[in-house]
Structure 1
Amino acid sequence: MRLQSLLKITLVFTLMVILMGAYTRLSDAGLGCPDWPGCYGHLTVPDEAHELSKVEISFPEHTVEPEKAWLEMIHRYIAGTLGLLVLGILILCLRSQDTPKRLPIFISILILFQAALGMWTVTMKLMPIVVMSHLIGGFTLFALLLLLYLRTGAFRIPGGDSKARALLPLALIGLGVLIVQIMLGGWTSSNYAALACTQLPLCEGNWFDNLRFADAFSPFQGQHPSFEYGVLDYATRMTIHVSHRIWGLVTALTLLWLAFKLFSAQSQVMRNSAYLLVVLVLVQIGLGISNVVMHLPLGIAVSHNGGAALLLLNLVFINYALWRKA
């Protein structure tokens, strides 16, 4: 298989892993299987009588919930397939003289670290810093695979567009702002703070006087039997939620300003990227508002994660195109 085709398939699988991970987390199935990499000591979810009897002996404090367990295992199956695809990419890149070597090696190391984070997510009982790191790792993998795809393909940017070249700093700032917003979203989700505020535009009550930034963004939350459903009090979760909303406004304005500036670029590629950027930002705003108004419906919440991933890819593409042009 050609490298470009394999990279396309791998990008699709990476998005599937991101979406399935979000679906699993939002379905409260992150501990559907209390061990790793199997499920209650099995490669599939145990359902036979003899298997369940062994579960009662080995995991006396747990009860098998098939729906949650299957969500967790399907996520692991897809992630395992993704790991094999990344291995194939590494082999093809190392065999070819015309492809980058350091980037696919780094991607392979990252997927191994992602596997470790997946294990720690379970063994550390959904500790927020681990869950968020696992999410960020998936987004990083997605972005790096696109970068490798662009670097190994026949993608070319027409030169001579001084207006576009002048947008390099703004594009880089936009990427940085978006990364912070994705991290805030991951922190909001991993601390079960998505419904800490149910009114718009910010929060109900005297929210400003109850902000607790030191507690809200401390990676250390003490010792707990499990972090499932969160361990922080309301004021701390509210602080996380409000921070995500406010920085979301900063992100939207920054990216829309970048898109507006890109509309004047001579390259049709850059103008198309600007149109896509506007659409993705507006869709993300709509999904975010819907999550609040409709109290976090599963489909919309998962789509919000997917929208963030696509926004990241668009910003990576814009930055790559502008740097190549320069």
Structure 2
Amino acid sequence: MQINSLVKITLVFTLCVILMGAYTRLADAGLGCPDWPGCYGMLKVPTESHELAQVQQAFPEHTVETEKAWLEMIHRYIAGTLGLLVLLILILSLKTQDAPKKLPMFIAGLILFQAALGMWTVTMKLMPIIVMAHLIGGFALFSLLLLLYLRNMPLRIPGGDPTARKLAGFAAICIGVLLLQIMLGGWTSSNYAALACTTLPFCEGNWVDNLSFAKAFSPFQGEHASFEFGVLDYPARMTIHVAHRIGAIITAAMLLYLAFKLIRDAKSNIMRNAAWLLVGLVILQVVLGVSNVVLNLPLGIAVSHNAGAALLLLNLVFINYALWRKA
């Protein structure tokens, strides 16, 4: 099998892991299994009477919630398969003479760190900083796999394109801003702040006087038996939510400006198509974000919002790669 064929399959699995992780988190199933890597000491969710009897002895303080436990285990099964695919990519890359070596090794290291974060997410009872780091690790893995795909298939933009030198720097800033916005989204979700504000464009009441940045963005939230459903007070959660909304406005404006410049100035059809896709993804993300507030965070739309963020990041990785390669 060619490396890039395997990388394409791995990209699909990575997106599935991101979406399944989001679904598991939003369905409040992050602690569906209180241990790791199995579930109540087993490789599958215990459902038989003798299995439930063993659980009662080993985990007397827990009650098996089958649906939540299966969500968590399916996420782990897909993530485990993803790990094997990344290992196979590394082996093929090391055996192929002209293939990149350092990037597959870094990706393999990242997948091991992701596994550790997955374990800590459970053992540290959904500590927000760990949950957010696990989310960002998934997005980073998605982006690096696309970069590996592009490295194995040299990108050629026909003709000279003077926009490369002019827009490469701004495109790099845009991807940094998008990453910060994704981190804000992860922090909002992991602190259960998605419904802290239920009006638009910002928040209900005299929200400015209730802002609490120090508490909202402190990575240390004290010792708690569990961080499930959040431990921050309302002002802190509201601050996180408002920051995410303001970040969304800034991010959307910057990405749309980048797309406008590429559509107007780029000579390459590849770049113009990427720019139009960027416009579509930004609009979709804004619509999904607003829908989350208006419709009270429906599960399907909330998961789709995660997917939109992942695809936006992938699109910007491609644009940056194309611009910097040409530059």
Whether 1:317 and 2:318 are equivalent positions in the alignment is: yes
Aligned residues: 326
In structure 1, C-alpha distance between the alignment counterparts of 2:29 and 2:238, rounded to whole Å: 24
Please list, as runs of the form range in 1=range in 2, the aligned pairs for 1:241-252 lying within 5 A after superposition.
Answer: 241-252=241-252
Residue 166 of structure 1 aligns to a residue in which SS? Answer: helix
Q: Is the 8 A contact 1:159 1:325 kept in 2?
A: no
Residue 186 of structure 1 aligns to a residue in which SS? Answer: helix
The 10-residue stretch of structure 1 (149-158 or 245-254) with the greater mean CA deviation from structure 2: 149-158
**Uncovered stretches (5+) of structure 2, i.e. residues with no partner:** none
1:219 positional shift = 0.2
Q: Deviations over 1:29-81 (max 9, x none)?
A: 00000000000000000011111001001001100000000000000000000
In structure 2, C-alpha distance between the alignment counterparts of 1:311 and 1:192, rounded to whole Å: 23
Residue 8 of structure 1 aligns to a residue in which SS? Answer: helix
TM-score w.r.t. the length of structure 1 is: 0.99
Q: What one-letter code is carried by the residue in structure 1 that aligns with 2:245?
A: R
In structure 1, C-alpha distance between the alignment counterparts of 2:30 and 2:70, rounded to whole Å: 11
Please list, as runs of the form range in 1=range in 2, the aligned pairs for 1:42-61 lying within 5 A after superposition.
Answer: 42-61=42-61
In structure 2, C-alpha distance between the alignment counterparts of 1:163 and 1:79, rounded to whole Å: 39
Please list, as runs of the form range in 1=range in 2, the aligned pairs for 1:137-152 lying within 5 A after superposition.
Answer: 137-152=137-152
In structure 2, C-alpha distance between the alignment counterparts of 1:60 and 1:46, rounded to whole Å: 14
TM-score w.r.t. the length of structure 2 is: 0.99
Whether 1:157 and 2:163 are equivalent positions in the alignment is: no
1:113 positional shift = 0.2
Q: Is the 8 A contact 1:184 1:244 kept in 2?
A: yes
Q: What one-letter code is carried by the residue in structure 2 that aligns with 1:298?
A: L
Residue 146 of structure 1 aligns to a residue in which SS? Answer: helix
The 10-residue stretch of structure 1 (301-310 or 93-102) with the greater mean CA deviation from structure 2: 93-102
Q: Deviations over 1:197-243 (max 9, x none)?
A: 00000000110011111110000000000000000000000000000
Residue 6 of structure 1 aligns to a residue in which SS? Answer: helix
Q: What one-letter code is carried by the residue in structure 1 that aligns with 2:323?
A: L
Q: Deviations over 1:284-319 (max 9, x none)?
A: 000000000000000000000000000000000000
Q: Is the 8 A contact 1:158 1:325 kept in 2?
A: no
1:160 positional shift = 1.6
Partner of 1:80: 80
In structure 2, C-alpha distance between the alignment counterparts of 1:19 and 1:155, rounded to whole Å: 29
1:163 positional shift = 2.3
Q: Deviations over 1:4-38 (max 9, x none)?
A: 10000000000000000000000000000000000
In structure 2, C-alpha distance between the alignment counterparts of 1:144 and 1:8, rounded to whole Å: 12
1:155 positional shift = 2.8
Please list, as runs of the form range in 1=range in 2, the aligned pairs for 1:212-227 lying within 5 A after superposition.
Answer: 212-227=212-227
The 10-residue stretch of structure 1 (137-146 or 161-170) with the greater mean CA deviation from structure 2: 161-170
Partner of 1:287: 288
Q: Deviations over 1:86-125 (max 9, x none)?
A: 0000001000110111100000000000000000000000
1:154 positional shift = 4.1
Q: What one-letter code is carried by the residue in structure 2 that aligns with 1:187?
A: W
In structure 1, C-alpha distance between the alignment counterparts of 2:51 and 2:108, rounded to whole Å: 35
Q: Following TM superposition, where does structure 1 have runs of at least 4 consecutive aligned residues deviating by more than 4 angstroms? A: none
In structure 1, C-alpha distance between the alignment counterparts of 2:158 and 2:319, rounded to whole Å: 14
Q: Deviations over 1:141-172 (max 9, x none)?
A: 00000000000014322352112331011101
Partner of 2:198: 198
Partner of 1:28: 28
Q: Is the 8 A contact 1:157 1:324 kept in 2?
A: no
RMSD, aligned α-carbons? 0.6
Q: Is the 8 A contact 2:164 2:324 kept in 1?
A: no
Whether 1:68 and 2:68 are equivalent positions in the alignment is: yes
Please list, as runs of the form range in 1=range in 2, the aligned pairs for 1:157-196 lying within 5 A after superposition.
Answer: 157-196=157-196
Q: Is the 8 A contact 1:99 1:152 kept in 2?
A: yes
Partner of 2:129: 129
Identity of aligned residues (%): 76
Q: Is the 8 A contact 1:24 1:30 kept in 2?
A: yes
Q: Deviations over 1:232-279 (max 9, x none)?
A: 000000000000000100000000000000012000000000000000
Partner of 1:234: 234
In structure 2, C-alpha distance between the alignment counterparts of 1:262 and 1:162, rounded to whole Å: 11
Please list, as runs of the form range in 1=range in 2, the aligned pairs for 1:265-280 lying within 5 A after superposition.
Answer: 265-280=266-281
In structure 2, C-alpha distance between the alignment counterparts of 1:154 and 1:291, rounded to whole Å: 39
Partner of 2:115: 115
Q: Is the 8 A contact 1:171 1:319 kept in 2?
A: yes
Q: What one-letter code is carried by the residue in structure 2 that aligns with 1:274?
A: A
Whether 1:8 and 2:8 are equivalent positions in the alignment is: yes
In structure 1, C-alpha distance between the alignment counterparts of 2:262 and 2:25, rounded to whole Å: 36
